[in-house]
Amino acid sequence: MANIKDLKKKIKSTKSTYKITKAMKLVSAAKLAKAQSRILSLKPYSEELQKTVKKMTAVVSGYSNPLLNETQTSHSILLVISSDKGLCGSYNSGLAKKVRLFLKENSHLNFKVSFVGKKVKDLIAKEVEVGEHFKFVKNEPTLEELRLVAEKIATQFKLSEVGKVFLAYNTFYSAMNYVPVVKQILPFTLSDAERDSMAGNLQEYKYEPSAESILDVLIPEVYFNSINTALLDSIASEHGARMVSMENASKNCSQVIKKQTLKMNKLRQAAITTELSEVVSGAESLKG
């Protein structure tokens, strides 16, 4: 049974942990506000950009772009965007589970799995064929660093070394709601239904200089923007997950402190009662 001295040590240790988790929660909340602003301001642009390119692609016949070309090779790339740090709940484990399921469902493709962030890599490295692990000067890459990653993957696609490119990441909805997803980013294609529905409504549009010239600029931008949006989604989701995780940890610390303090007080009270009983018993024995 724990004595008062041991309980004091536990309470002191738990209070130190509480201070750390509380500070980490505040830091994550501040970072989340900034990350949330970035991703929410980018998503409308990203969605409109994709719509524009899909509309133009639907009405332009005979257009060809290296990022649209489908090849017959089964070699594919899956780029997984996770975190470098832990203490963020199920953020990484949930994404790892999604990646495992996706690879199982697409076993007909020969995947090489590349990584941004190391946590998911640590979880699944022994189960997959590991490609490149992209590292940056800081935790969050600059646009220039991210463009180098995008260009490196696009070059492999253009040379037909890989036939498809997929992204796996956590998409951000709110601080408490993020969902792991896997989506294809290359080749950039439209389904027949999408093409037919868009082509029927866009015949009156005219493009200057030409639809082909505009698409040559916009399609690479859509591809890069897909990776950039996924990265910002992942960053916002990570900060939200860590903030919630640290909030729960702080609450648990508070409960432990209260429980251990109550237990210590009961032991202290019992010790005082025992001492008083001994003093009274000693006094009574002297009288007798």
Which three-class secondary structure string do you get for the chain? CCCHHHHHHHHHHHHHHHHHHHHHHHHHHHHHHHHHHHHHHHHHHHHHHHHHHHHHHHHCCCCCCCCCCCCCCCEEEEEEECCCCCCCCCHHHHHHHHHHHHHHHCCCCEEEEEEECCHHHHHHCCCCCEEEEECCCCCCCCHHHHHHHHHHHHHHHHCCCCCEEEEEEEEEEECCEEEEEEEEEECCCCCHHHHHHHHCCCCCCCCCCCHHHHHHHHHHHHHHHHHHHHHHHHHHHHHHHHHHHHHHHHHHHHHHHHHHHHHHHHHHHHHHHHHHHHHHHHHHHHHC
Please give the pLDDT value at position 280. 78
Residue 11 token pair: 């309470």
Question: Residue 268: its pLDDT value, please?
Answer: 87
CA distance 36 to 239: 9
For residue 262, the model assigns a pLDDT of 93
CA geometry: angle at 88 spanning 184 and 148, to 5°?
Answer: 40
What is the model's pLDDT at position 204?
A: 60
Intervals of the chain under pLDDT 70: 1-2, 191-205, 288
- The whole-number pLDDT of residue 176 equals 87
Angle at 70 between CA 66 and CA 72, to 5 degrees: 130
Which two structure tokens, joined as six digits, stand for 1? 């049974």
What local confidence, expressed as pLDDT, does residue 20 receive?
Answer: 95
Q: 24-244, which class in CATH?
A: alpha beta
